[in-house]
Amino acid sequence: MFTGIITDIGTVKSVTRSAGEQASNEWGGDTRMDIACSYDVDGIDIGASIAHSGACMTVIEKGQTDGQNWYAFEVSDESLAKTTMSTWQAGTRVNLERALTGKDELGGHMVSGHVDGTGTLLSIEEIGGSHRLRFEAPQDMAFGIAPKGSITIDGVSLTVNDVEGAQFDVNIIPHTWDVTTLGRLKTGDKVNLEIDLIARYVARYLAHMTNKG
Pick from 22, 9, 35: which is nearest to 184 by CA? 9
Q: Provide CATH code, domain 117-205.
A: 2.40.30.20
pLDDT at 19 > cutoff 60? no
Q: Which CATH number fits domain 8-98: 1.20.190.20, 3.30.565.10, 2.40.30.20, 3.40.50.620?
A: 2.40.30.20
Pick from 126, 133, 115: which is nearest to 53 by CA? 115
pLDDT at 205 > cutoff 80? no
pLDDT at 190 > cutoff 60? yes
Please give the helix or strand (H or E) that residue 77 lies within, else none.
Answer: helix 77-82
The reply to whether the predicted model has a pTM over 0.85 is yes
Q: What is the pLDDT of residue 42?
A: 96
**Is the fold of 8-98 the same as that of 117-205?**
yes
Domains of the chain by residue range: 8-98, 117-205
- Name the band, by pLDDT with cuts 50, 70 and 90, for residue 104: low
Q: What percent of the chain has pLDDT over 90?
A: 76
- Name the band, by pLDDT with cuts 50, 70 and 90, for residue 107: low
How large is the average pLDDT for residues 31-59?
Answer: 97
Q: What is the pLDDT of residue 106?
A: 66
Most confident of 99-103, 120-124, 201-205: 120-124
Q: What is the pLDDT of residue 213?
A: 60
- b/e burial code for range 151-173 (CB count within 10 A of at least 16 → b): bbbbbbbbebeebeebbbbbbbe
Q: 99, 48 in Cβ contact below 8 A?
A: yes
Kindly report the average pLDDT of the chain as a whole number.
Answer: 90
Q: What is the pLDDT of residue 105?
A: 65
Angle at 129 between CA 124 and CA 133, to 5 degrees: 20
